[in-house]
Amino acid sequence: MVLKNFRVHRLLIVAFGILCSASCSPLIFADPLSSYDGYKLKPDFAYGIHRRQKLDIYEPLIEENKEIIIMFIYGGSWRSGERSNYRFIAQQFVSQGYTTIVPDYRLYPEIQFPAFVDDIAKAIVWTHRRYEQKNNPPKIILIGHSAGAHIVALLALDNRYLKRAGASTKIISGWISLAGPHAFNPLKTASTKPIFNNFAPTIEQTKPTTFARSDAPPGLLLHGKNDKVVYAKNSVLLANAIKNERGHITLKNIAGVGHIEILLSITGNKLFDTGVKQEIFKFIKNLH
């Protein structure tokens, strides 16, 4: 049985790789790995006027933890992504009683950096205002994968984005990064250069490492040691920068895990269980 599961695991990973190389979404495999129950979906809320400035809300059917709101920001190299593909992520959090929000954001080539960061800042402020109760503000926890992790880190560390949206990083209670490109120079990669070349003279402003500070919300950096898309040193460098400023950060490098696997591990399926899901929920519970 162990050998059979290993072979299935390998087959799925190969299939993911083929789909990614063909510019198709590998997430068609992820959806069947989680159940379809335990939540009520409220789709298509507009947090802005652009067609992609919309979000979906997943509300738990079990007893709700009203203090915590999870917002998941997907990746896609700042070029692609659809919130409807991430039901399998949201389901894992609503199953624990957490209302979970998945927003879309504008993408290249329609926009360049930092428009997608500003979009998520608006989504956070919209969420905060929706769930704010008198003398009891919600605890919003941001979780991002890949390009989404880059967006999350910038929002947690650089207060300018939320300030432009009408708030501050104080409305973020914590943030979690999965395989984030936090220290890379986008001008040195052909696919990302046009997305960021409007900031060529000040490219350090695009890097979360630039904004490490002591008073930022606490963060958790999770990165697969086998990640060949975004190297694990990105999270190491950000963790070191934050620690040097005496900020609150935890780094976990996960052995035997690649760029897609770290996201799949949230599904709870035993084939992809790497301890990532457990680390995430432990971090959230420690913020209560």
Compute the distance between CA of residue 104 and CA of residue 93 in angstroms, rounded to an integer.
Answer: 18
- Coil, strand, or helix at residue 249? strand
pLDDT at 66: 78
Burial of 37 (0-12, 13-18, 19+ CB in 10 A): exposed
Question: Average pLDDT over the chain, rounded to whole?
Answer: 89
Q: Where are the domains of the chain?
A: 35-286
Domain 35-286 has CATH 1.20.1440.230: no
Query: Nearest-CA neighbor of 207 among 230, 231, 183?
Result: 183
Local structure of residue 38 (DSSP, 8 states): S
What are phi and psi for residue 129, nearest 5 degrees? -70, -35
pLDDT at 22: 37
pTM of the model: 0.91
Looking up tokens 């003279």, which residue turns up? 201
Residue type at 142?
Answer: L
Length of the chain: 288
Encode pLDDT of 254-271 as tens digits.
999 999 999 998 887 777
Compute the distance between CA of residue 26 and CA of residue 240 in angstroms, rounded to an integer.
Answer: 32
Residues 6+ apart with CB under 8 A from 45: 54, 55, 56, 57, 126
Encode pLDDT of 10-58 as tens digits.
455 544 444 443 334 556 666 666 677 789 999 999 999 999 999 999 9
Query: Nearest-CA neighbor of 29 among 277, 256, 257, 264?
Result: 264
% of the chain beyond a pLDDT of 90 = 76
Q: Please, what sign has the CA dihedral across residues 43, 122, 131, 147?
A: positive
How far is CA 194 from its chain centroid? 22
| Secondary structure E strands in 61-138 | 68-73, 99-103
